[in-house]
Every structure is written in structure tokens, then in C-alpha cells.
Amino acid sequence: MSSRLHSGGWRKIARRFFWEDCASQVVEFALSAPLLVLFVVGIFDFSGAISLKQKLTNTARESARVAAADPASDLSGSASGVPASVSDAFWVVDNYLVSEKLGDCGLSSVEPVRSPSSLTWISTATAAPCGASAALMLKINRGCYTPTTINGNTVNLAATCVTIQYPYYWQFGGVSGLTGGTFVGPTTITVTATAFNEN
């Protein structure tokens, strides 16, 4: 009889010990869960931003190459209208964004507008998934000059510069509040590519 009570007492002690251990594990998980969520969301968010920047860089590079290969004779016309070389670069960007399953923000319906007294055309698109506060901006400059050293002499070579500014919405900022922190990332990712004009 006493051995049964003795073993029953041990069971109560063991039960109490394991119950307290489970409770401490729950508390530890509750304290570490926000940090774990922060790390996971951060990994996905920052890798998404890096992937987007790589895609935009490839888009700008291809667009600049296409425009730079076109003849520059179409740039000497009137200020109205879009030259063929600019139009080619514009459509390369739009098609590339669509093929990469990135929203083009309605870029296809926005005609590039020439900046006064320059060889730069700018398109700004604000349709979904973009918005007025973080619009997609495409700038095609057919007359940017790049200083280059040739045989010890510095000369300015005419090039085509394509700049893409694309909105990016961070999930990390909302999750960082779980740990008491704040994060405000850039609202856009901007890339620029340059190609020397061939004609």
C-alpha cells in the first residue's frame, strides 16, 4: 500500500514537472515566434527585391542595346512624335515586363513624352499594381554622354541610357512591428543601363 502511494506521489511530481516544462516551452515559443516570422518574411522580401532588381536590370540593358543599334537620324525631327529608336526601346521594356510576369502598370497605353531641349523621353504609368505615389517611370535618353579614355585622351561618347523606376511594396515593414522595430524601405527600385550608340 505504501509503495503504491509512494509511486502515486512520484507520478504527481513527474506530472507537475512535465506540465511546468510544457508551459515554459509555450512561453519560449511565444517569445521567439515574432522573431522567427520576422526572419522568414525578411528573407522572402529582400530576395524578392533582389530578384526584381535583376529582372529590371536585364530589361533596361536589352532596351538600351536595341535603341543604341537604331540609327540616330530619326532624332533630328520635330519635338512632336516618338522616334522609332525610342519606340523600339519602349516596347522592349513593356514586353519584357509582361513576359517576366511583372505588372506593366499600364505602360503600354502611355506614350513617351520628350523633355524640352533634350533627347530624353519619359513615360510614367500609374495603373495597377502601381499607384500615383509609387509609379512606374521609364526614361529613355538617346543622347547621354559617357566620358571614356582613349589613348590617354578623355572623349565623350554618345550613348543611350535607359532608366527604369519600379514600385516595390515591402511586407517586412509591417512585420517588424511584432518585435517593436520599424522598417521603412525605398518605395521604388531604380536601375539604369547604358549602351554606346552604333549609328
All structural domains of the chain with their residue ranges: 37-196
Sheet strands side by side (includes 120-125): 113-114, 120-125, 136-150, 153-167, 188-196
Say yes or no to pLDDT of 193 above 90: yes
Please answer whether residues 62 and 89 qualify as being in contact, where contact means their C-beta atoms are separated by less than 8 angstroms.
no
What single letter denotes the amino acid at residue 7?
S
Rounded mean pLDDT of the chain? 84
Distance CA 193, CA 85 (A): 16
- Number of alpha carbons in the 13 Å side-chain half-sphere of residue 41: 18
Portion of the chain with pLDDT greater than 70, in percent: 85
Computed over its alpha carbons, how large is the radius of gyration of the chain?
Answer: 29
* Report for 3-17, 69-83, 85-99, 166-180: range of highest mean pLDDT: 85-99
Mean pLDDT of 15-26: 64
Portion of the chain with pLDDT greater than 90, in percent: 46
Q: What confidence tens digit (pLDDT) does each residue in 61-85 have?
A: 999 999 999 998 888 655 558 999 9
Query: Does residue 112 or residue 133 have the better pLDDT?
Result: 112
State how beta strands 153-167 and 120-125 pair.
unpaired
The gap between the terminal CA atoms of the chain, to the nearest Å, is 105
The x, y and z cell numbers of residue 16, run together, are 507537475
Distance CA 59, CA 67 (A): 12
Say yes or no to pLDDT of 37 above 90: no
